[in-house]
Structure 1
Amino acid sequence: MLGRSLPADMDADAVAGVDRRLAEIRAAHGVAIPLAIESGSRAWGFPSPDSDYDCRFIYAHRPERYLSLWPLRDVIETPIEGELDVNGWDLAKAIRLLLNGNAVVIEWLTSPIAYGVDERFRAAFLAFAEQVADRDRIARHYRGLGYAHQEQHLRDGQPIALKKLFYMVRPAAALRWLRLRPDAAVAPMRFQTLMAECDPPPAVAAIMADLIARKALTRELGAAVAPPEIIGFIADEFRRADETFGARVPRPEAGEREQADRFFRDMLDHIWRDRPTPDRS
């Protein structure tokens, strides 16, 4: 039984559209989908009235399909139509990306908005992530994400679309959260929780809280020169990340790969154990 957790203000037609798309994917590809969640601004906690519905999912083929001589494609992509954006990763891809430090997998697992989630699968995957997620690899992910947005959007003295600030402050806050917690590697997905737990300077917290409130009411925040407090916060956290986290990110070791293989097989067994085998006659 898949659990759902959908805010009351989500558009019913959009949710029905996501459900239809997921049902079509299951039928067309013969896969199970143990995790289908909302990603993007709605799940991060700073949506606009016209925010898209960004459904992301993890799927699994039947175990015997992974024994094929011909490699399976490890993504399922569907066309973006209107406000619907529905795409997913194969379970094997999600595990490999996690081992290599891709924090997106963790964010999907911790999304507060669920279209359909096998909670035993999610709990097991999160426990596995806690065991194998490497802080330096995760930090490299957020550092690269933040730098990319900084280089693309932030220019000295030039106006910036204010909504773009979220995409630089969020990775900077995640890096700060990791720096303040030497034994942790899984930062909160929800922006408000992340900001509260990383304890940013009061001026930064106030500016971002104001932007969240304004973004919830308007389709377009407009453009302005980025506040110096925000610029300073981003620059400082990226600099500290360069000093705190390893410059060379280690590749997954043999023991981690073996652990990942066991987890992959265990999850396939869990996902398909009680599902009927299709009639191939």
Structure 2
Amino acid sequence: MENDDYFEDEEFSPIRSLLGLLTFSTILPIKVFTSIEYMTKLTWCWPFLHIFVGILAAVCGYVSLEFLHLNSFFAAAIVYAFLMIITGYNHLDGVMDMADGVMVHGDPEKKIRVMKDSSVGAGGMATLFLVASLTVAGLYNILDYNFILGIVICEMSAKTSLLTTALLSKPLTPGIGSYFIRETNILNYLTSTILISIIAYLLGNVAGLAGVIGAIASGIVIAVIARRNFVLANGDVLGMSNEVGRLMSLLFMAVALFYI
């Protein structure tokens, strides 16, 4: 992290901490900083904050389709680009780093060293390409069904995937990711996930609920892969879970939309 203001010692403020979390995960000009300990106490609220990000992305998709008269594929690519830019490409390094760590042969210590290395290997680049291209394809699929609210659902569900991985993981310390993992417990996870599921159902009926289920499944898979390869998890693992969670949410929604 570039700004040390996150580590300032101050009194806990829920509103300030939520705004700090949004500052941390987007490039929105909020510029509210709080200590990392206080900010991560509200990690379970992360999916709700990204409902707003998803709404902005959905507006971007709507404008692309209805006002610019672009086809669904071009609109999907623009929506994905918007999501990456507004989130400051926050998790893409996690996708590459975790993929590199998983691909290398060796014990967990060696895999962790590779994952934490600043250089990027072929496995990392290839995995990022696959995740990005499949996510664009998923967005294209739901836009082809005119399910533009699916953009909101997949973005908030991406954070549900991250929380699922955090809940099932043991933190690798030191590192920012360890704060998010330690602050995710079964009670706040269930509270967050149940509420997000209700919102997803209200937005997209069965298809919306399927999107959340896909993200949860993704979070479980990423947690299992991380445990088998690294034993412990860090911010890179959470970043991978976020990006793959968005993709799996879109996949599950696309399948549900076909059958309903």
The structure with the largest strand share of the pair is 1
- Which structure has the larger Rg? 1
After TM superposition, the score normalised by the length of structure 2 is: 0.28
The structure with the largest helix share of the pair is 2
After TM superposition, the score normalised by the length of structure 1 is: 0.27
